[in-house]
Structure 1
Amino acid sequence: MSGPDLVAPDLAGTPREPMTADQIRNYLGQRANHPYASKLLGFQLADFSIEERWLEADFHPTQQLANLRNSVQGGIVTAMLDEVMSLAVLVSERFMCGVPTLEIKTSFFAPLPVEPCRARGVATKIGGRVAFMEGTIWTPSGEIAARSSATCQVRRVKAAG
């Protein structure tokens, strides 16, 4: 299980079976080594629940992601939240879809230091063509740094033939 077909399987046109929890854990456990934005953000899977539709990840931002105030730049914080929210939908659907973000709103509450932090994404509703998501990211001391809400398109794997 590797390659771009896991990012947007419908675009690759290769129908497959839904991933098991172990397969998902293995794939996401290796994601920090992939040449995707996840690597830039310092993504590391913490935990997830298929049934409860959430995913938590630790991020390890580097100084290259800092703003002039020496905290993580707001667009990067939003990217971290987009990552956990989108992955919450993918996990809930067992990677049988692609989930490009259509709209995202982020509210900032505290600066996010350039240190390891935790974020949680939740798929609040998954419909036939769109899903709604929420995300929270915390500072290393446990203070809420930002919250996001987003909508994504749900591109399901198409049946063979």
Structure 2
Amino acid sequence: MTDGPFLLAPDLAGGPPPEPLDADQIRARLSLRSAKPNVSTLLGFELVDFSIEERWLEARFHPTPQLANLRGSVQGGIITAMLDEVMSLSVLVAERFTCGVPTLEIKTSYYNPLPVEPCVARGQAMRIGGRIAFMEGTVWTPGGEIATKASATCQVRRVKPAAKP
């Protein structure tokens, strides 16, 4: 492992496209993700489960008091970050980590305050095309109510082979 940032997904880099990961490799990579300093650790990401075939990922988040708004619940932008995380990861899982998936647009709707307590979120890749994917996500309160829903689009960046000299 290098001293640089931990990269979970490839981007537009030279070289051969990466080999698709199997379920055990994906689980190991996502477990490593939550142990490295990045947005996942800030949000308290913990993998619950995923399905490659059904294109979804579920995670538990453990927000801290530093992520609260003035009313004492999790700040809306932080909830959107949780949704962005699970939705993007649902595409990565479906594509078996052979691409990068930067978010292009996200729409978030808030239904109930999210207490600063562990919560569950689920992302679903609804449609994956050659260059764009459509995703949906939900965060539930610890009591099981829907706190927030989102829909988003991301770019599907497939790794291009290195240019020939």
Counterpart residue type for residue 149 of structure 1: S
* Pairing 1:105-116 to 2, within 5 Å after superposition: 105-116=107-118
| SS of equivalent to 1:149 | strand
Corresponding residue to 1:141 among 140, 143, 153: 143
Q: Deviations over 1:93-129 (max 9, x none)?
A: 0000000000000000000000000000000000000
Contact 2:112 2:147 in 1 (8 A): yes
Q: Deviations over 1:69-105 (max 9, x none)?
A: 1000000000000000000000000000000000000
Distance 2:73 2:89 in 1: 25
Q: Tell me which of 59, 62, 81 is aligned to 1:60.
A: 62
> 1:35 is matched with which residue?
37
Letter in 1 for 2:14: G
Identity among equivalent pairs (%): 73
Q: 1:98, 1:10 → 2: CA distance?
A: 5
Give the Cα separation in 2 of the matches to 1:159 and 1:131: 22
- Larger Cα Rg: Structure 1 or Structure 2? 2
Contact 1:5 1:12 in 2 (8 A): no
Cα offsets for 1:14-36 (capped at 9, x unmatched):
43211111000011012111111
* Superposition pairs of residues 76-91 of structure 1, within 5 angstroms: 76-91=78-93
Between the aligned partners of 1:13 and 1:54, the Cα distance in structure 2 is 29
| Aligned 8 A contact 2:98 2:158 in 1 | yes
Q: Is the 8 A contact 1:33 1:39 kept in 2?
A: yes
Give distance in 2, aligned partners of 1:34 and 1:13: 25
SS of 1:136's partner is strand
* Structure 2 unaligned regions, length at least 5: none
Shift >6 Å, 4+ stretches: none
Q: In 2 relative to 1, CA 71–11 (structure 1 residues): closer, same or farther, beyond 3 Å?
A: same
- Per the TM alignment, residue 5 of structure 1 is displaced from its structure 2 partner at its CA by 4.8
How large is the RMSD of aligned CA atoms in angstroms? Answer: 1.5
Report deviation, 1:10: 2.9
The structural deviation recorded for 1:13 is 2.9
1:12 and 1:34, CA in 2 relative to 1: closer, same or farther beyond 3 A?
farther
The answer to whether the Cα contact below 8 Å between 1:42 and 1:61 also exists between their aligned partners in 2 is yes
- Deviation sequence 1:45-65 (CA, Å, 0-9, x none): 000000000000000000000
- CA contact under 8 A between 1:122 and 1:135: conserved in structure 2? yes
Q: Which runs of no fewer than 5 residues in structure 1 stay unpaired?
A: none
